[in-house]
Amino acid sequence: MNLDLKEINRCVRCGTCRAVCPVFEESGWESANTRGRILLTRGLARGLKADPEVLDSLNTCTTCGICTDNCPAGVNPPQLIEAARRELVGQGIVTREQAALSRNIYESGNTFGDPGDRLAWLRDRSRLREKADYVYFVGCMNSYRRSDTAARTFDLLSRFGATLLPAEQCCGSPLLRTGFDAHRFADENLRQIKGTGANTVITGCAGCYTTLKNNYSADLEVLSIPEFLAEHIFELDLEPLDITVTYHDPCHLGRHNKIYEQPRRVIEAVCNLKEMKACREAARCCGGGGGVRSAYKDLSLRMAKRRLQDVPEGVDYIVTSCPLCIRNLRDAGAGEKAIDLADLVASAIR
């Protein structure tokens, strides 16, 4: 979507979105809630120049999408906000953090600017198959920061014949969400996927999932780990666990792609599930998406702390299926209690 005035003018300024925007909840400023941001997109679409405050207003949106689900006029604010960010990037108006993040990705192929081997966690390279039915797309965070989860996820998916890309690149999500171009990364990842002969890509990161599924223009089946495991959970030899967990819906699996039932089906095959106070369509954002964690860490962690208030009493773990959510929830106080769905399933394998 471009900065389309017709689309922007659908906003009737009713303010319904003020009640749900997680950033507004923390900042209280009109410019940091959906309605204020839409007003800014209107200014930009009419050719007004942006100042640093406009940048902060537009860049603090986590693209959580709860405003879209609640807007009576059918506006899709995150799409307009991403279009506004592209417009600003096109004019060379970016924050220091945006510039650093994009430089990292363009120079190293990962969000951390890490020059190291992306597959350092894979001890046995002979497990890479040249041809396979499935590709496990690992993502930057699991490759470089949560590599135990990457290894356990690959162990699970290998049972079904999955392989890895030989030289996976960042999926491009952080670039696309913050207004930059990611064609180069989409083209390279698609070239490698094609090389494996696989028609299905499976990913354990909500950001990678939504990007491969909705931004890559290719005839490709993209599955999230919850979707894949929900189909195959009873083919695994499981010993149910005597624990109770809750589930945090990542925005880009839940609201953006309506994946609500599958993770719950997987959890209930393994242990007890107790829902969060706000869940499914109403789930609060962890605060980590849309480039907010890298540029506005304090704000991002305040949102994560608020999300932790939704955790019900008496649960052993907070399970989710996005490493960015795990990082934010852990850093906000959940610690080792926040775990990946694949790790939960792996611990129940006989």
Judged by CB under 6 A, which stretch of 18-26, 228-236, 271-279, 304-312 contacts ligand SF4? 18-26
Q: Is 298 exposed, middle or buried (0-12, 13-18, 19+ CB in 10 A)?
A: exposed
21 binds ligand SF4 per the rule CB under 6 A: yes
Q: How far is the CB of 38 from ligand SF4 (least distance, A)?
A: 5
Out of 26, 41, 57, 78, point to the residue binding ligand SF4 (CB under 6 A): 78
Residue 192 to residues 60, 104, 151, 196, Cα–Cα distance (Å): 34, 21, 20, 7
Is 65 a residue that touches ligand SF4 (CB under 6 A)? Answer: yes
**Least distance to ligand SF4, CB of residue 104, Å:** 23
Nearer to ligand SF4, 16 or 200 (CB): 16
Q: Quick check: 16 binds ligand SF4 (CB under 6 A)?
A: yes
Q: Which of 48, 73, 167, 218 binds ligand SF4 (CB under 6 A)?
A: 73
Q: What angle do CA 164, 166, 168 make, to 5 degrees?
A: 80
CB of 332 to ligand SF4, least distance (A): 17
**Residue 1 found at the interface with ligand SF4 (CB under 6 A):** no
Using the rule CB under 6 A, give the single segment among 51-59, 69-77, 109-117, 305-313 that binds ligand SF4: 69-77
Q: Which residues contact 209 (CB under 8 A, 6 or more apart)?
A: 203, 222, 224, 252, 253, 257
Spatial neighbors of 335 by CB under 8 A, at least 6 apart, are none
Which H/E stretch holds residue 200? strand 200-203
Q: Which CB sits closer to ligand SF4, 9 or 199?
A: 9
Write b or e for each residue in 201-235: b if 16 or more Cβ atoms lie within 10 A of its Cβ, otherwise e: bbbbbbbbbbbbbebbeeebebbbbbbbbbeebee
Among 22, 139, 250, 288, binds ligand SF4 (CB under 6 A): 22
Nearest to ligand SF4 of 31, 347 (CB atom): 31
User: What are the residues facing 244 on neighbouring strands?
Assistant: 272
Site membership for ligand SF4, residue 77 (CB under 6 A): yes
Q: Residue 318: name the closest of 332, 334, 333, 306 by CA.
A: 334
Q: With contacts defined by CB under 6 A, name the span among 12-20, 114-122, 215-223, 315-323 that binds ligand SF4.
A: 12-20
Among 67, 245, 311, 341, binds ligand SF4 (CB under 6 A): 67
By the rule CB under 6 A, 277 interacts with ligand SF4: no
Q: Residue 136: enclosing H or E segment and its boundaries?
A: strand 134-137
Provide the H-helix boundaries in the chain. 5-8, 22-27, 34-45, 52-59, 66-70, 77-90, 96-108, 140-144, 147-158, 173-177, 183-196, 206-214, 225-232, 261-270, 292-295, 297-308, 323-329, 341-347
Site for ligand SF4 contains 38 (CB under 6 A)? yes
Q: Which stretch binds ligand SF4 (CB under 6 A): 29-37, 42-50, 132-140, 215-223?
A: 29-37
Rounded CA separation 2/15 (Å): 23
Q: How far is the CB of 199 from ligand SF4 (least distance, A)?
A: 32
Matching residue, tokens 């959970």: 233
Among 9, 13, 91, 161, binds ligand SF4 (CB under 6 A): 13
Task: Decide: 310 and 329 in contact? Cβ < 8 Å.
Answer: no
- Which member of 15, 90, 161, 333 binds ligand SF4 (CB under 6 A)? 15
User: With respect to ligand SF4, which residue has the nearer C-beta, 38 or 338?
Assistant: 38
Q: Are 323 and 149 in contact (CB under 8 A)?
A: yes
27 binds ligand SF4 (CB under 6 A): no
Q: Which is nearer to ligand SF4, 14 or 48 (CB)?
A: 14
Q: Which residues bind ligand SF4 (CB under 6 A)?
A: 11-17, 20-23, 34-35, 37-38, 61-67, 71, 73, 75, 77-78
